[in-house]
């Protein structure tokens, strides 16, 4: 992940080390859930999405939860033009994903806000 995310000098950057840890934990959790490659990719996109909402858009916890709900709903819509089915996750998997975000990110939202916006 260090190479993929183009992170260097992890030994001196707590911010990058924390992000590597969070992405790695999310990836391993998704693998334990036996997600397919497509599901794993969508999950990692969701994980990146909520982190970007904190980092780039400075979203509040409530707004980020709403955006996650919207993004999860969009992954369940059908693309009729292409005839594809975007139901990537079952109801149980979707609930587990939300539980994961609540326990791993939203529970510590202030810490992640500080990580991105606090002084170095």
**Residues in the chain, total:** 120
Reduced to 3 states (helix: H, G, I; strand: E, B; else coil), residue 112 is: helix
Q: Is residue 24 part of a domain?
A: no
Report the number of distinct structural domains present in the chain.
Answer: 1
What mean pLDDT is predicted for residues 83-94? 72
CA distance 34 to 53: 27
Determine the average pLDDT of the residues in 83-110.
82
Average pLDDT over residues 87-95: 86
Instruction: Give the Cα separation of 86 and 83 in Å (integer).
Output: 10
Q: State the CB neighbour count (10 A cutoff) for residue 37.
A: 7
Q: What is the DSSP string of 36-99?
A: -HHHHHHHHHHHHHHHHHHHTT---HHHHHHHHHHHHHHHTSEETTTTEE---S-HHHHHHHHH
pLDDT tens digit string along 37-81? 999 999 999 999 999 998 888 888 899 889 998 888 876 554 444
How does the average pLDDT of the chain come out, rounded? Answer: 82
Q: How confident is the model at residue 2 (pLDDT cuts 50, 70, 90)?
A: low
What domain range is 66 assigned to? 36-77+88-119
The pLDDT of residue 81: 42
Model pLDDT, residue 78: 45
- Average pLDDT on 95-120 reads 85
What is the predicted pLDDT for the residue at 79?
Answer: 45
């Amino acid at each position: 992940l260090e190479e993929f995310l183009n992170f260097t000098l992890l030994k001196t950057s707590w911010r990058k080390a924390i992000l590597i840890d969070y992405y790695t934990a999310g990836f391993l959790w998704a693998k334990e859930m036996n997600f397919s490659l497509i599901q794993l990719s969508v999950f990692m996109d969701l994980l990146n999405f909520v982190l970007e909402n904190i980092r780039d858009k400075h979203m509040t916890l409530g707004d980020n939860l709403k955006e996650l709900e919207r993004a999860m709903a969009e992954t369940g819509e059908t693309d009729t033009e292409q005839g594809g089915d975007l139901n990537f996750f079952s109801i149980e998997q979707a609930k587990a994903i939300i539980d994961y975000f609540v326990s791993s990110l939203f529970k510590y939202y202030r810490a992640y806000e500080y990580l991105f916006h606090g002084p170095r």
